[in-house]
Structure 1
Amino acid sequence: MRNLLSICLIALLFACNNNASKHAAKDSTITKEDDNSKADDITMQEVEGVYQGTLPCADCPGIATTIQLNEDSTFLIEQVYKDRNKGSAFYSLGTWSLSDSIVSLKGIKDGPSMYKATLNGLQQLDMQGKEIVSTGNLNFNLPRVANKSFNTKSNIPLEGMFVYYADSHLLTVCATGKTYPVELTKETVNMEKDYSALKKKDKEALLVNVEGTFEFRPSMEGDKQVLTFVVRKFIKFLPGEKCK
C-alpha cells in the first residue's frame, strides 16, 4: 500500500509540473507576440520627417531621392536621376497615409508608392506593396535625416487655385488640396495684375501655373512660422478651369 501511495503521489506531482510548464510556455508565447505587435506599432507623428538616399535605377547609376512627409498628411518627393537630364530634379506632391507601418503615397502616377516605415527610415516596396527581393546588392532603404524639411534643388512646378483679396494671397495646391499663404514677391505682383483683370467676382479662385518653393515664413499674426509658397516664376492663369 505504501509503495502504491508513493507512486500515485509521484504521478500527481509530475502531472501538475507538466501542466504548469505548458501554461508558462503559452504565457511566454503571448508575451513575445505582444512585444512584436508593439515593435510594429508606429504612429504618423513618429513617421513625419525627411528621408534621403539613393534608390536603384534600371538604366542609370541611381536615383537620389528625398521624401518629406509633413504633419498635415502631405508629401513632397524630389528625385534626381544620376548621369541623366543634366542633374535635373523631378517633383511629386500628394497626400500620405499610414496603415500597419506601411506608408502609402496618393498622387504617384508612375512607380512605387508604398514604403515600410520604421523609426529610422523607409524601405521601398514593389508596386503591390511587397518587399522587393533582390539578387544583387541593391539598397531600397531611405534613412531618416534630422530635419523635418529640406531645401529643394530647383523650383517646384505646380498647379493651384489662387485667390487675392485684402492684401492676402492664397494658393490651394491641386495635388494635395491644401491651402498656403503666398509670399509677396515681384512675381506675385505680376500675378495680382493678371488676377485682377481676369476675375469676374471678388474672391474668385483662378487656376494658375507657377513654379516656386515651400519655405517657412513669419505669420501675419504673431511670431509663429508658417509654411508658405514662394512664387519664383509666374507662368499663366487658366480662367474657367479647375483642378483636375
Structure 2
Amino acid sequence: MKKSLCYIALLALFTTACSEAPKEETAVDTAQAQTEAAKSAPVGDTSQNSLDWAGSYEGVLPCASCEGMQTLITLQADNSFVQETVYLGKDEKILKLMGKAAWDEKGQKITLEDGTQYLVGENQLIMLDTEGQRITGDLAANYVLKKKQ
C-alpha cells in the first residue's frame, strides 16, 4: 500500500513539474516576441502608425499595352490586401491578387506580394518604380490611387 501511494505521489509530482516548464518558456517567448516587435516597429510618426491607411484605393494606372489599368486595392488593418485590376481596352476580366502587404522599416511604403510597392500617403497610395522610388515625369500624377470615401 505504501509503495502504491509513493508511486501516485511521484506521478503527481512529475505531472505537475512538467506542466509548469512550458508556461515559463511561453512567458519568455512572449516577452522576446514583444521585444522584437518593438525593435522592428518604426519610431516616431510614420504612415503606418499615424495615418488612417486601412480602406479601399482606386484609380487608373498607366499601361504600355492598353488604355490603362483600372485598379482597386483594399488594405485591411491586419495588413491583408485584395488588389483587383482590369486592363482597359483588352480582355477586361478582373485579375485578383490577395495576400499580406509588408511595410518597410521606416513605416512609409508597402510591398504587395507581387513586388509592387506603394508609398502610403494621406488618403492615397502612390505607385513606386521597381527600385522603390517615386515615378517622375509627365505621367507621375497618374500613378496615384485615391482612397474611396
Gaps of 5+ in 2: 1-42
User: Partners in 1 of 2:148 and 2:141 — Cα distance?
Assistant: 21
1:90 to 88, 95, 98: 95
The verdict on how the C-alpha distance between 1:136 and 1:144 changes in structure 2, with shifts beyond 3 A counting, is: closer
Partner of 1:104: 111
Amino acid at match of 2:48: T
Work out which of the residue numbers 64, 67, 78 in structure 2 matches 1:72: 78
Letter of the 1:122 counterpart: L
Separation in 2 of the partners of 1:73 and 1:138? 26
Q: What percentage of residue pairs aligned between the two structures are identical? A: 28
Contact 1:104-1:113 within 8 A present in 2 as well: yes
Q: Would you say how many aligned residue pairs link Structure 1 and Structure 2?
A: 104
Which residue pairs with 1:128 in the alignment? 131
What's 2:118 paired with?
A: 115
Shift in Å at residue 63 of structure 1?
Answer: 0.4
Q: Where does structure 1 lack aligned partners over 5 or more consecutive residues?
A: 1-36, 147-244
Distance in 2, Cα, partners of 1:57 & 1:81: 8
| 1:42 matched to 2:43 | no
TM-score of the pair, normalised by structure 1: 0.39
* Shift, 1:72, TM fit: 2.0
Structure 1 segments, 4+ long, off by >3 Å, are 135-138
Q: RCO greater where, 1 or 2, for CA within 8 Å and sep 6 or more?
A: 2
Q: Are residues 136 and 78 of structure 1, via their aligned partners in 2, closer, same or farther at CA, if it must alter by over 3 Å?
A: closer
Q: How does 1:1-244 map to 2 (within 5 A)?
A: 41-43=46-48, 46-85=52-91, 87-99=92-104, 100=106, 101-105=108-112, 107-108=113-114, 113-136=116-139, 139-146=142-149
> TM-score, with normalisation over the residues of structure 2?
0.62
Q: Is the 8 A contact 1:67 1:77 kept in 2?
A: yes
Q: Write out per-residue CA displacement over residues 186-207 of structure 1, whole angstroms, 9 at most, x where no aligned residue.
A: xxxxxxxxxxxxxxxxxxxxxx
Shift of 1:119: 1.6
